[in-house]
Amino acid sequence: MKTPIAISDSANFYVSAERIFDPSLKNVPVIVLSNNDGCAVARSDEAKALGIKMGEPLHLIRDKVEAHGVRVFSSNYTLYGDISRRVVEVYEDFTPNVEVYSIDECFLDFGGFADRETHARRLRAEVLRRIGVPVRVGIAPTKTLAKCANEIAKKNPIFAGVLDMMDERLSDWLLPKVPVGDIWGIGSRTDAKLAKLGIRTAAELRAMPARQARALGTVVLERTVLELQGEPCLALEDVEPQRKGMAVTRSAGTPMTDFDTLFQALTAHATRAAEKLRRHGLVAGTLTVFFHTNRHRLDRPQYSGSRTTRLTPMSADTFDLVEAARRCAKAAWPKAQAGTYSFTKAGVMLDDLVRFEDRPRTLFDVERPKSAALMAALDQVNDRFGKKTMVLGSEGMKRSWQLRADHRSPRYTTRIEDLPVVR
DNA sequence: TCTGGGGTCCTAGGACCC
DNA sequence: TCTGGGGTCCTAGGACCC
């Protein structure tokens, strides 16, 4: 039998977290707002019952909030992070392998337990007893099916928070009742495409040939179909991956119409981004700046600008990042139509992150990676080891050149004379 | 002058997730 | 008037190289 995978998620997590410390919040409508207090991002069941939607702007629900005495909170991510870690500790008592998927969701290796449902119910009771947060558990042979099971358990109180869908007869019976848009990985765009083909349920998507799925969407949709068929394409990742990028983005309180104002905002974002990098002990290899007009105002002229630049050397230095952001902003700024647009959102994104201690110590100017000498070196490597080989190992090398397989792979520094190690 | 195959790199943007 | 922020992965197209 295939290894059972469980996913456990907390119900209305931010609200549940707030309720731990304030019993007066029980059984009353509660919402938690997004960063700038703009939208409702978590709602208690009572708030949902009032028709408050996920992501709904606060200003559109003011009347409801006042009429029903909805308790409103700004988000407190420090608190939620702490609660989340404590919930994970409980999970770790119930399974050897935990993948922390998000602040309120974990995939759990449920292999080797004879009575999975009882095990899940015990886990559920223990999280509630020790932390005070209600969770729901879905179990299935693949992550996508486990998410389905979790979703079904969430919507149907009859399951009392646990659904084990390892038995195929059970998924055969349930998947026709799951709207295709509820499946993990199917967003609104794909949902619309599938609707045109008359595919409305998880069971119907499961029946789609993998090739057709790939043609209609991408490899992602193909994997979703295979996972629905019970073939695992997504492994349990129980080691925390090195993060690949980070971003600092904000909506502007007052729209920005001139370059200096935009650059002022971007300077603040780049400064915060540099601090964030250093806090995590990282340096970045790539910086991207973007800005765009208000997407909710289609009656006004729209513009979105973005520009990416390489940071050489890789850096977490505020000055370097601000300078790079300035270059990018200038390049993306709509000079010809200056004054036409008012920008309401801007951000700085950093990619190709590596730990500070792993940063390449450059002995030659990587601004000119295509210098004749480097190209000659690459050719020489290719001649020697065949076209496929580009990544040079690091054993016994003397630093002189930097080579890599592609722009995302790690860099290696070596001398042409010392090329024996090739992978 | 035209014709190529086989690559990498870079950029921009789409789609989805929580 | 006010409508989030921070991530991941994938694809396409052009520039450029030999």
Are the C-beta atoms of residues A186 and A196 closer than 8 Å to each other? Answer: no
For residue A422, what pLDDT is reported? 32
Query: Which whole number is the average pLDDT over A77-93?
Result: 95
Asked whether residue A102's C-beta has any atom of DNA/RNA strand B within 7 A, the reply is yes
What are the tens digits of pLDDT across the range A172-183? Answer: 999 999 999 999
Q: Where are the beta strands (DSSP E) in A257-341?
A: 282-293, 304-315
Are the C-beta atoms of residues A50 and A70 closer than 8 Å to each other? Answer: yes
- Cα separation, A242 vs A355, in Å, equals 9
Query: Which whole number is the average pLDDT over A25-51?
Result: 92
For residue A36, what pLDDT is reported? 77
Query: Would the pLDDT of A96 be above 60?
Result: yes
Query: Would the pLDDT of A358 be above 80?
Result: yes
* Residue A99 pLDDT grade (very low, low, confident, very high; cuts 50, 70, 90): very high
| Distance in angstroms: CA A62, C1' C6 | 27
Residues 6+ apart with CB under 8 A from A197: A216
Asked whether residue A196's C-beta has any atom of DNA/RNA strand B within 7 A, the reply is no
Per-residue CA distances from A270 to A74, A280, A290, A359 (Å): 25, 15, 12, 20
Nucleotide whose C1' lies closest to the alpha carbon of residue A103:
B18
Kindly state the tokens that stand for A151: 């979703």
Are the C-beta atoms of residues A244 and A350 closer than 8 Å to each other? Answer: no
Are the C-beta atoms of residues A42 and A70 closer than 8 Å to each other? Answer: no
| Distance in angstroms: CA A366, C1' B2 | 36
| Distance in angstroms: CA A417, C1' B14 | 44
| Distance in angstroms: CA A403, C1' C6 | 31
Kindly state the tokens that stand for A140: 């299935």
Q: Residue type at A312?
A: T
* Residue A376 pLDDT grade (very low, low, confident, very high; cuts 50, 70, 90): low
- Cα separation, A64 vs A40, in Å, equals 13
Nucleotide whose C1' lies closest to the alpha carbon of residue A181:
B16
For residue A405, what pLDDT is reported? 39
- Cα separation, A71 vs A344, in Å, equals 29
- Cα separation, A224 vs A234, in Å, equals 9
For residue A200, what pLDDT is reported? 96
Which residue lies nearest C10, CA-to-C1' measured? A218
| Distance in angstroms: CA A283, C1' C6 | 18
Buried residues in A356-369 as b, exposed as e (16+ CB within 10 A): eeebbeeeeebeeb
Kindly state the tokens that stand for A116: 């999975």
What are the tens digits of pLDDT across the range A40-69? Answer: 999 999 999 999 999 899 989 999 999 999
Asked whether residue A308's C-beta has any atom of DNA/RNA strand C within 7 A, the reply is no
Query: Which whole number is the average pLDDT over A281-305?
Result: 90
For residue A377, what pLDDT is reported? 53
- Cα separation, A139 vs A94, in Å, equals 14
Asked whether residue A220's C-beta has any atom of DNA/RNA strand C within 7 A, the reply is yes
Kindly state the tokens that stand for A241: 């991956």
For residue A360, what pLDDT is reported? 74
Q: What percent of chain A has pLDDT over 70?
A: 85
- Cα separation, A81 vs A5, in Å, equals 24
Kindly state the tokens that stand for A84: 């989340």
Query: Would the pLDDT of A365 be above 80?
Result: no
Instruction: Give the containing element (helix H, strand E) for A251.
Output: strand A245-256
DSSP, collapsed to helix, strand or coil, labels residue A419 as coil
Q: Which of A106-115, A156-165, A293-302, A406-415 has the lowest mean pLDDT?
A: A406-415
For residue A312, what pLDDT is reported? 79
Sign of the torsion angle spanned by Cα atoms A207, A210, A213, A219: positive
Query: Would the pLDDT of A379 be above 60?
Result: no
- Report residues 243-262 of A contacting strand C, contact meaning Cβ closer than 7 Å: 243-251, 255
For residue A406, what pLDDT is reported? 36
Query: Would the pLDDT of A113 be above 80?
Result: yes
What are the tens digits of pLDDT across the range A126-173? Answer: 999 999 999 999 999 999 999 999 999 999 999 999 999 999 999 999
* Residue A254 pLDDT grade (very low, low, confident, very high; cuts 50, 70, 90): confident
Which residue lies nearest C4, CA-to-C1' measured? A34
More reliable by pLDDT, A402 or A134: A134
Asked whether residue A34's C-beta has any atom of DNA/RNA strand C within 7 A, the reply is yes
| Cis check: omega of the bond before A420, within 30 degrees of 0 | no
Contacts 24+ apart (CB under 8 A), A110-114: A110/A3, A110/A4, A110/A5, A110/A6, A110/A139, A111/A3, A111/A4, A113/A4
Protein-covered nucleotides of chain C (CB closer than 7 Å) are 1-11, 16-18
For residue A369, what pLDDT is reported? 39
Asked whether residue A342's C-beta has any atom of DNA/RNA strand B within 7 A, the reply is no
Query: Would the pLDDT of A413 be above 90?
Result: no
* Residue A380 pLDDT grade (very low, low, confident, very high; cuts 50, 70, 90): low
What are the tens digits of pLDDT across the range A295-344? Answer: 888 888 888 899 999 887 889 999 999 999 999 999 999 887 778 899 99
Protein-covered nucleotides of chain B (CB closer than 7 Å) are 6-18
What average pLDDT is seen over chain A? Answer: 85
DSSP-derived letter for residue A406 is S
Which residue lies nearest B7, CA-to-C1' measured? A387
Q: Provide the pairing of β-strand A162-164 with A135-140.
A: parallel
Are the C-beta atoms of residues A139 and A118 closer than 8 Å to each other? Answer: no
Residues 6+ apart with CB under 8 A from A250: A36, A265, A269, A345, A346, A347
Residues 6+ apart with CB under 8 A from A15: A25, A30, A31, A32, A42, A43, A44, A47
For residue A361, what pLDDT is reported? 61
Instruction: Give the containing element (helix H, strand E) for A123.
Output: helix A116-130
For residue A417, what pLDDT is reported? 36
For residue A253, what pLDDT is reported? 82
DSSP, collapsed to helix, strand or coil, labels residue A305 as strand
Asked whether residue A387's C-beta has any atom of DNA/RNA strand B within 7 A, the reply is yes
Query: Would the pLDDT of A415 be above 50?
Result: no
Residues 6+ apart with CB under 8 A from A71: A25, A28, A29, A30, A31
